[in-house]
Amino acid sequence: MGLISINIDEIYEEKIIALENEGSGVCKVKGITVFIPKTLIGEEVRFRITEIKKNFARGKLIKILKPSKERTESLCPYYEECGGCDLRHQSDNKNLEFKCQKVQNAVTRIGKINSKVSEIIPSFKNENYRNKASFKVEEDRIGFYGSGTYQLVDISYCRLLEDEINDALSIIRNYIKEHKNNIKAITIKHGNAMNDLLIDIYSINDKQDEKIVEYLKTKVPNLKTIVLNGRTVYGNGYISQISNGLMFNCSFDSFFQVNPVTTEKLYKTAIKEAKLSKDDVVLDLYSGTGTISCIVSKYVKKVIGIEIVKDAVLDANCNKMINNISNVNFICGDATLEINKIKEKIDIIFVDPPRKGVDRKAIAVMKKIAPKKIIYISCNPVTMARDLGYLKDLYDIKKIIPVDMFPKTNHVECISVLEFKRKEN
């Protein structure tokens, strides 16, 4: 209604009054809510309107007229355009405070849950912590898309990435500058067990780009595996990760947490809060490559992992054998179907779903099983809060613990501890 009173490219000066869920500053222009990235509460800013929607608008920062005391130097030359980070302008303490409030807002407003979020667990490192990066390639340029766009930001070094990945990026950059290519994307993973690298390449003409394989083999130190268009063309197809004292094979398409040291904190905290016993039978939903199942196994009688992705289950069984674990059974299939085949009484469920959260049918099955405790690990507070809202009729939400797995970004991991409600006499 009121949006007709402002126009694209108009310039305004306003005060930031809040931060929205993704970390952008919020202000009002003629009664209209405007989101402005890379601004902080209390700042007076000049900005240009870049997008107008039905109920809000977006703006691009032109100048900070009055900075916040919490503003800090980003230290990244690409920060203003790159979409990889979004909170580098904010002090680390405020970053943690923002993430706690983000989780609290989701729990209260979406889940309708009256639980106070616990103090956030900080990351062991705030820079050079990521063990994986996916780059876009356009001819002789490589980098990330700009924030909210498909415009490639050409980068030579990313402060979020482990040095081994940045070194490999530099070598790949030299290759694409020297050779015509049809490469569109490259993913690099670093394994902390053997300090080795996996490079996954997507090309629209793999015959032309096969020559990059020999180039990388001779140039990249500790290169373990190269994958070209889904085919392992060098090495055995995986690298190795160590977490919580166990070894895990990580293939090109398998999921593994990107912040290895803080991941150990995450799993240690989840296990501590679960208060596991040697008599417990644990169900691990969305078990992936078996990380949680294997780590939990030494504390309980048995673990049953369910995962729908066949390759992930193959990796999980391999990881079980690597670590000489005998009390874990992995099942490949849809959780809503496979759960009904389980004969054991389930005491505790660990669930670590993708960003979209837990399927409603799976929620119904979890409630049917009614374990004494559910440990819900999530990388998306919004879908987590929604799912907790579905479970709160049967479960008390005992704790919600944020974990800063992704410093300098608006993303946050969470551990929720749910206990089955005792029936009143």
- Say what the pLDDT of residue 3 is: 44
Give residue 2's pLDDT. 44
| Choice among 100, 294, 379, 414 that is catalytic | 379
- List the one residue out of 368, 255, 390, 371 whose CA is nearest residue 304: 371
pLDDT at 125: 95
CATH T-level assignment (fold) for domain 95-125+255-420: Rossmann fold (3.40.50)
Phi, psi values for residue 98, rounded to 5°: -60, -45
- Residue with token string 């780590």: 295
Give the tens place of pLDDT for each residue, 276-309: 999 999 999 999 999 999 999 999 999 999 999 8
Name the residue among 377, 421, 382 with its Cα closest to residue 398.
421
Tell me if 2-71 shares its fold with 95-125+255-420.
no
The one-letter amino acid at 205: N
pLDDT the model gives residue 339: 82
Domain range list for the chain? 2-71, 95-125+255-420, 132-240
Class of domain 132-240: mainly beta
- Architecture of domain 2-71 in this structure: Beta Barrel (2.40)
For residue 424, what pLDDT is reported?
56
Tokens of 381: 């507070």
Read off the tokens for 237: 């197809």
Give the separation between CA 404 and CA 4, rounded to whole angstroms. 40
Residue 379 is a catalytic residue: yes
Which helix (H) or strand (E) element contains residue 103?
helix 92-105
What amino acid is encoded at 53 in this protein?
K
**C-beta neighbour count of 113 within 10 angstroms:** 20
CB 375 within 8 A of CB 346: no
- What's the mean pLDDT when you consider all of the chain? 94
Kind and range of the H or E element at 267?
helix 260-274
For 158-196, b/e burial (b = at least 16 CB within 10 A) is bbbbbebbbbbbebbbebbeeeebebeebbbbbbbbeeb
Cα 157 to Cα 74, 122, 154, 169, 223: the distances in Å are: 14, 24, 10, 8, 19
The residue ranges of the chain whose pLDDT is under 70 are 1-4, 423-425
- DSSP label at 66? E
Q: For residues 31 and 1, give the distance between their C-alpha atoms in angstroms, rounded to a whole number.
A: 11
Amino acid identity for residue 295 in this structure = I
Beta strand 32-36 pairing with 25-29: antiparallel
Beta-bridged to residue 416, according to DSSP, are 376, 400
Rounded to 5°, the CA angle 127-25-61 comes to 85
Phi and psi angles of residue 346, each rounded to the nearest 5 degrees, phi first: -90, 125
Q: pLDDT tens for residues 102-123?
A: 999 999 999 999 999 999 999 9
The model carries a pTM of: 0.92
* Residues 6 or more apart in contact with residue 56 via CB below 8 angstroms: 32, 33, 34, 35
In 335-412 the beta strands, taken as DSSP E runs, fall at 348-351, 373-378, 395-403
- Give the pair of three-digit tokens for residue 16: 């930031």
* 354-359-363-365 Cα dihedral, nearest 10 degrees: -110
d(CA 303, CA 295): 10
Give 376's DSSP letter.
E
Q: Look at residue 4 in the predicted model and tell me its pLDDT.
A: 57
pLDDT at 425: 45
- Kindly state the helix (H) or strand (E) to which residue 22 belongs, with its residue range: none
For 179-323, strand residue ranges (E) read: 183-191, 196-203, 223-228, 231-234, 238-243, 246-251, 281-285, 302-307
How many Å apart are CA 76 and CA 54, to the nearest integer? 34
Picking from 23, 108, 112, the residue whose alpha carbon sits closest to that of residue 393 is 112
